[in-house]
Structure 1
């Protein structure tokens, strides 16, 4: 058996869950009472104001009239709904068949494209590879470059390049 302290601790630890449960119960009971109130209002509207008891005794209920009223209610005619459904079914079946035909055409077109692309890739693979010889290459001789030649290349790059004033050092740029 749980003590009162344990119950309070359990409630405090699960306060969000308990709030959701209480909210659900309040909502459910509110809907039930709202439905009952609406039913009682509907019944009041259906019943005319009842006369006093002695007048009720004088009036006798004519059951034949009540049953005649029920017989007079029109019954839905299924033939009308079937006629309205038939054209829609035929149009739907036509739409489905046309859509299937379109999909089939798209499928065939995609198959032809795939076959064409596979043929083209085979043709490309079958093309003989031409080997590039050393005569065709631009030989700069970078693999034979020594340290002295590399230093000379840097100096010549500075001499032949744009002036240093056009390339200011980042520490002095736009400080003025």
Structure 2
């Protein structure tokens, strides 16, 4: 019980539930439930029986023939529309297949070109791969071919 009074959230929820119950009781007490009243049609018994007899006497074949006649024309039109759409879809499919074949050929050509370039680059890298002897020769040749020593004076430590 102490938990209920110490927690303000629970108190707010309880107050809301109790107030909604009282509001429902109040609204149900003010308006009693009424059943809808249907207006009574005053038809003579004879008129009702003739309409029933007419309904029984009418053959259903006439309705079916009419419905078939009415739906025949739209059905043919719908079939023609779908046939046209099917042809268009088939043409589109052929075009897409042709485009696919063309792009596959392009991709194959590009792939072969890439492999040729990669092969050329790998052969160049084999020719340019340095080893210890080539590096030593390079340093020697840089000293030989570089500017003279007089142009690059040796600067020692100044005491």
| TM-score, normalised by the number of residues in structure 2 | 0.47
When Rg is computed on C-alpha atoms for both structures, the one with the higher figure is 2
| TM-score, normalised by the number of residues in structure 1 | 0.43
